[in-house]
Chains A and B, each alone.
Chain A
Amino acid sequence: MINSLFLINPSGEMFLEKHWKSVVSRSVCDYFLEAKEKALEPEDVPPVIHTPHHYLISIYRDKLFFLSVIQTEVPPLFVIEFLHRVAEMIQDYFGECSETVVKDHMVMVYELLEEMLDNGFPLATESNVLKEMIRPPTILRSVVNTLTGTSNVGDTLLTGQLSTIPWRRAGVRYTNNEAYFDVVEEIDAILDQSGTTVFAEIQGVVEACVKLSGMPDLTLSFMNPRLLDDVSFHPCVRYKLWESERVLSFIPPDGNFTLMTYHVNAQNLVAIPVYVKQSISFFECGSDGRLDVTVGPKQTMGKTVEGVMVTVHLPKTILSINLTATQGSYTYDNGTKLLVWDIGKLNPQKLPNLRGSLSLQAGAPKPEENPSLNIDLKIQQLAISGLKVNRLDMFGEKYKPFKGVKYITKAGKFQVLTITASINKYT
């Protein structure tokens, strides 16, 4: 299965390597580095590369390449999924996944990798099990460690591996028993220049933070489960019970985990929380143009839209811009031609507007491409699909847990298309 893993930073430095079988020389990465050189963006590096003796399967995540070396047939998704788990594990342990973090915790990451695979085959990938074997660092503990010279390796023998509920460790005890669920929805949409929805769908996820003692068996039900068009579950969820009764029945992992992800069909009309009025135009003659963008609230169910941000990739031939924003501020990077307008909260009484002039490089033809606007936004206390949690019941334990549900809506890939108009020379 998986022979070796290399972590590579964007400049091509291999800063961590781990081998689960015989050592593979790091020169094998040259094939990958070559492909990386060729690619315009790091995302464009092919995920699977065939070399004379090995196969290289890589992912790009959090500005790092996770490159695995394979020698024989293995389902590529098996490897890709595992590599993402590695990234998630680092994120989970150290709060972020970055080169600095890995370099700071080299030994611990190495030990974790040792536990995650045995002879290249996944052994323990559940965060619950791993955390019992190797405790994540906390500030207090790292102080204690430096003073006493102990480390984070579990000092008792672990039982996590022995459970048939591989995702939950045994003997969990809390003084405050609590279970929180966050329903987070992202709207993916493409609106055309007139504001009509070309495409819209909602991706949702139920994130859970469950800190309950013992072996609680939870049942979570929704007011309107039929909304959900497609779902996928954490392995703890009893699939068949969902299929028959549309309830989520599960023995939860301890701590944070993703309970389910779902998709709301575009068929059930997706509410679009904002509208964007925009025009980008260039004069037929000369080298000037104009940009005018207004953002306003649309279907917000009475909630405030916050964190609004508009990002535009302007045409390459733009030389400079001169814009004024009535709210928020904008930044423009002339190298990447990236215009970012950070608006903040939307005020329906006074709509934010950004307008001004664009100037093209002298002699450049009118740009052909139509830049699209990418919108970012956030709405608290609202699941835009209308999904609502009905109730949460607990069986198997006697105590009364504290329960809570939070809703939040965000923009996913939310694009507004434009058509650059040309204006006849005004005389």
Chain B
Amino acid sequence: MVREVSESCVESLLAEIVLSYCSGFYANKPELAARRIEAIGFQVGHQLSERYTMDRPRFTDNLDAIKFICKDFWSELFKKQIDNLKTNHRGTFVLQDNRFRWLAHMSVDPSVQASGNIQDPSAMAENKSAQATGMHLYFPCGIIRGALSNLGIECAVSADISNLPASLCLAFIILMPLLWLSQNLFSSISLQNADYAALLVQSIIF
């Protein structure tokens, strides 16, 4: 029994989640809002992975599970597969999607390009718009983390938007002993947003 929902409804719902958590419930605490949104995504990913692994044979190892995420899971959620998968064979994987569906209809603030001569306000505006779009990435990160944890792979997921429109880079590290992690944390993932760094460290430690 497959029921369908209109895609614009889903996008509106996601935008409203981010809006109400960031400006409503946790108005001055973006880290808490981010964690809450990510936790919602975690439960959704957990349940979705049950549904989408139903008719498939069992996975032989971690790489198989990650390939499932890149192909079947991603195409069920976003109607396309991952464009590029990179790994350092030591537990870090980078997934790249060149046109992330949920952010495809999101506009970039045009005033950033216009006020190029004044240095400080434009930098601030760019940072604010990057932060705003960054908030919308916590939910998909949570979904991926939930799906992987249900398949038996505990990891930390972070996402990065580079050259809009909508090119998304998702990186995750499989949780290993904390010492290795702290040595490799900031070298293996390029984090442009300080909030992501805080979230990543928090999600690893807790």
Partners in one complex: no
> A-side interface residues toward B, CB under 8 Å?
none
> B-side interface residues toward A, CB under 8 Å?
none
